[in-house]
C-alpha cells in the first residue's frame, strides 16, 4: 500500500535493536484518515470471506481494528494483556512474548466474545516474529472459531514470522512489507 509505505519513509524512525518507531501516525499519535484508508484496503482484500468478528490486541491494534469493524459491520474484540497470572475460567488465554519489550504477556479474551460461529479476521499493527499472531490464533482456536486470515499494517519480512504463518496455512495480508532496514534506510518488498 503505497500511502502507508510513503508515510513510513517520511515519518518512521529506526531505533537501535531493529525497532521501527511509527509513533506519529500509528502507535501513539494516530492519523485517522490514513488508518481509515488501511481499513478499507483490508475490507477489499478480505471481502467475501464472511468475516463476522475482528480480533486484535491492545493497545495499538484497536484503532485499526475498530475501523475495520466498521467496514465489515461486525463486532471487534481486543485481547487484553492480563495483569494477573491467575487466569479465570471465563477467558481464553495465550502467552505472547514481546519483541519490543523483551517480556511475555498473557493475553486473554472473554469466552463470551469468541465462539464457534465466528469467522475471525485478526488485525494488528506489526508482524515481526509472529508471536502476537500465534497468540491471537490460539485464542480463536480455543473458541472453535475459524480464522479467515490476518491483516497487518507493517510486516518486517526479514524476521520471518509472516512467512512461517503463511507456510502454516494462514492467509496473511500486510499493507507494508519491509524487506530490510538498516542505517541506510528501509527497503520494501
Length of the chain: 189
59 makes contact with its own copies (CB under 8 A): yes
Q: Rank residues 83 and 85 by Cβ distance to its own copies and give the closer one.
A: 83
The least distance separating its own copies from the CB of residue 75, rounded to whole angstroms, comes to: 5
Considering only residues 5 through 24, tell me which ones interact with its own copies, judged by CB under 8 A.
Answer: 23-24
**Least distance (Å) between residue 78 CB and its own copies:** 7
Question: Given the C-alpha cell 491467575, which residue does it identify?
Answer: 86
Window of 109-117, 141-149, 155-163, 169-177 that interacts with its own copies by CB under 8 A: 109-117
**Comparing C-alpha atoms, which of 185, 182, 188 is closest to residue 174?**
188
Report strand pairing: 172-182 vs 185-188.
antiparallel
Residue of the chain from 8, 76, 128, 136 that contacts its own copies (CB under 8 A)? 76
What is the C-alpha separation between 162 and 130, in angstroms, rounded? 6
Could you tell me the smallest distance in angstroms from the CB atom of residue 125 to its own copies?
12
Nearer to its own copies, 55 or 134 (CB): 55
**Rounded CA separation 83/86 (Å):** 9
Amino acid at each position: 500500500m503505497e500511502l502507508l509505505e510513503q508515510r513510513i519513509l517520511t515519518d518512521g524512525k529506526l531505533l537501535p535493536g531493529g525497532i521501527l518507531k511509527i509513533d506519529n501516525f500509528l502507535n501513539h499519535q494516530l492519523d485517522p484518515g490514513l488508518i481509515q484508508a488501511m481499513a478499507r484496503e483490508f475490507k477489499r482484500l478480505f471481502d467475501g470471506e464472511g468475516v463476522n468478528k475482528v480480533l486484535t490486541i491492545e493497545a495499538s491494534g484497536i484503532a485499526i481494528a475498530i475501523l475495520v469493524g466498521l467496514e465489515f459491520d461486525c463486532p471487534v474484540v481486543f485481547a487484553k494483556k492480563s495483569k494477573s497470572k491467575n487466569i479465570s475460567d471465563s477467558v481464553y488465554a495465550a502467552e505472547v512474548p514481546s519483541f519490543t519489550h523483551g517480556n511475555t504477556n498473557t493475553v486473554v479474551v472473554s469466552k463470551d466474545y469468541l465462539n464457534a460461529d465466528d469467522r475471525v479476521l485478526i488485525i494488528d499493527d506489526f508482524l515481526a516474529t509472529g508471536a502476537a499472531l500465534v497468540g491471537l490464533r490460539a485464542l480463536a482456536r480455543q473458541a472453535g472459531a475459524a480464522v479467515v486470515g490476518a491483516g497487518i499494517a507493517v510486516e518486517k519480512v526479514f524476521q520471518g514470522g509472516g512467512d512461517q504463518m503463511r507456510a502454516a496455512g494462514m492467509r496473511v495480508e500486510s499493507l507494508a512489507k519491509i524487506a530490510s532496514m538498516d542505517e541506510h534506510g528501509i527497503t520494501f518488498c
